Structure 1
Amino acid sequence: MDMRETRRQTIDEVELMLANARLRDELEPYRDESIESSINRMSLQAENEYLASMLAWERAPALPISDWFSPPLHLLPPDALGDSQLSHRLKKTIQKLYSKNIVLRCTDHLCDRELYTIIYRDILPCCEKKVDVPGKALEWMCVEDTETWLRFYATPVERRRYQEEFDCELPPSETPKHRRQLPGN
């Protein structure tokens, strides 16, 4: 290693330490013991990324998801659309949601109309923090009950653990009817 490399590493480390101090100062009003216990095992670079994501979360506004878009994303009611119109709008809406880092999970048990209805009724009006952190997404689980999750999405290990923990009969495992390739999945 030559002298220039050593000097560059020193400068990089000093910059990381200064950034760390600035992030900690900015997080001070939001600070609690969970920050300290989480970062004790991280490199300085990882700690700074973690602190920056926490700061972004704390400062992010909570808005209805429909207002994350410009203009706001408004959908026609599900019963106002025919099946082909609805399917087309559903695909476009899923792409729009993904453009704002909103990823839908566990949708394959739902027909297009049911999924569109969940987006229209539950997702778009829901207030969530709009956090713009690279690589982070808001994941929306489209399963409303444990039985559906156990039936269609739980792995054999998850099913066994659930059965052991709750000492109950499980629904049969099934393959969902509506296989989708959604962005982010």
Structure 2
Amino acid sequence: MDMRESSRQLIDEVELLLANARLRDELEPYRDDSIDTSHKRMSLQAENEYLASMLAWERAPALPIAEWFSPRLELTPPESLSDDQLPVVLHQTIAKLFSKRIILRCTDHLSDRELYKIIFRDILTCCEKKVEVPEKALEWLCVEDTETWLRYYADAVERRRYQEEHDVELPPSETPPFRRQLPGN
């Protein structure tokens, strides 16, 4: 290692330490029992990324998801869409949600109309923190009950574990009727 490389590494380390101190200072007003600082030792770079994501979370506004868009995302009511219009509008809506890093999971048991209704009624009206952290996404599970999850999405290990924990009869495992390929899945 030559002198310039050694000097550059020292400068990088100092910059990371200064950034770490700044992030910790900025997080101080938010400190409470929910912020765990006893985490296992990680690299300074990884710790700074972790602290930056915590700070982004704390500062993020909680808004209805429809307001994450400019202009506000307004959808046509489900009952106003014909069976021909619905798949096109649904596809466009899912793409818009994905553009804001909202990923839909466990949708294959729902018809297009049922999924659209969930987006219209539940997702767009739900207040969530709009966190601007690269590589992070809001994942929305479109399963409203355990039986549906067990029937269509739980693997053999999850099914067995659930049965052992709850001592219940499980629904039969089935292939979901509406297989779809969604962005982010």
Give the C-alpha shift of residue 108 in structure 1.
Answer: 0.4
Separation of aligned partners in 1, 2:10 and 2:59: 32
Give the C-alpha shift of residue 41 in structure 1.
Answer: 2.2
May I ask how many residue pairs the two structures share in their alignment? 184
Separation of aligned partners in 2, 1:42 and 1:163: 37
- Give the structure 1 partner of residue 101 of structure 2: 101
Give the C-alpha shift of residue 101 in structure 1.
Answer: 0.5
Separation of aligned partners in 1, 2:84 and 2:97: 20
Separation of aligned partners in 2, 1:122 and 1:41: 40
Separation of aligned partners in 2, 1:136 and 1:171: 34
RMSD value over aligned CA atoms?
0.8
Give the C-alpha shift of residue 35 in structure 1.
Answer: 2.7
Tell me, what secondary structure is at the counterpart of 2:63?
A: strand
Separation of aligned partners in 2, 1:134 and 1:167: 42
Correspondence list, 1:24-173, <5 A: 24-33=24-33, 34-38=35-39, 40-173=40-173
| More helix, by proportion | 1
Where do 5+ consecutive residues of structure 1 fail to align?
none
Separation of aligned partners in 2, 1:83 and 1:37: 54
TM-score by length of 1: 0.97
Tell me, what secondary structure is at the counterpart of 1:140?
A: strand
Residue type matched to 2:155 in 1? T
Residue type matched to 1:138 in 2? L
Tell me, what secondary structure is at the counterpart of 1:35?
A: coil
Tell me, what secondary structure is at the counterpart of 1:51?
A: helix
Give the C-alpha shift of residue 42 in structure 1.
Answer: 1.3
Where do 5+ consecutive residues of structure 2 fail to align?
none
- Give the structure 1 partner of residue 6 of structure 2: 6
Residue type matched to 1:101 in 2? R
Separation of aligned partners in 1, 2:14 and 2:36: 22
Give the C-alpha shift of residue 84 in structure 1.
Answer: 1.5
Separation of aligned partners in 2, 1:42 and 1:142: 35
Separation of aligned partners in 1, 2:27 and 2:80: 47
Misfit runs of 4+, over 3 Å = none
Separation of aligned partners in 1, 2:2 and 2:178: 60
Separation of aligned partners in 2, 1:84 and 1:67: 28
Instruction: Determine what percentage of the aligned residue pairs are the same residue.
Output: 77
Give the C-alpha shift of residue 134 in structure 1.
Answer: 0.3
State the Cα deviation string for residues 137-181 of structure 1 (Å, max 9, x = none). 000000000000000000111111101111111000000011111
Residue type matched to 1:36 in 2? T
TM-score by length of 2: 0.97
Give the C-alpha shift of residue 32 in structure 1.
Answer: 2.9
State the Cα deviation string for residues 54-89 of structure 1 (Å, max 9, x = none). 000000000000000011001111010001211100
